Amino acid sequence: MITKTYTFLIGTTDDFESMADLLDYVEMGTFTETKESVNYSIYEFEAPESCDQDTVTMIGRGIAFSNDWCMDDTFSCVIEGTV
């Protein structure tokens, strides 16, 4: 079975004003340079290449929700590949 790597990003609406803010924060590598406490998580996972985008999103949510995240008051997305 051929798999693809995905990354699920999730952050609180208390710390990010939009999904774009969360993406910018992660893309700029701010999480390695700042000392401020920002509530977000990054989960890398693999899924079969045959999975559609909805299934991949559900897998990412399942991982995040199993780690005490929820849909309420968060921004989240799936990125193909690693961050």
How many domains, in total, are found in the chain? 1
pLDDT of residue 72: 97
pLDDT in tens, 6-61: 999 999 999 999 999 999 999 887 555 554 678 999 999 999 999 999 999 999 99
Name which of 58, 65, 47 is nearest 10 in CA terms.
65
Read off the pTM.
Answer: 0.88
| E strand segments, the chain | 3-12, 40-48, 74-80
Residue ranges of the alpha helices (H) in 12-52?
19-27, 30-33
The answer for 81, left when phi > 0, alpha when psi is -120 to 50, beta otherwise, is left
More confident residue, 1 or 2: 2
Q: Reply yes or no on whether the pLDDT at 4 is more than 90.
A: yes
SS3 75: strand
pLDDT of residue 65: 97
Query: Which residue range is the domain that position 31 belongs to?
Result: 3-80
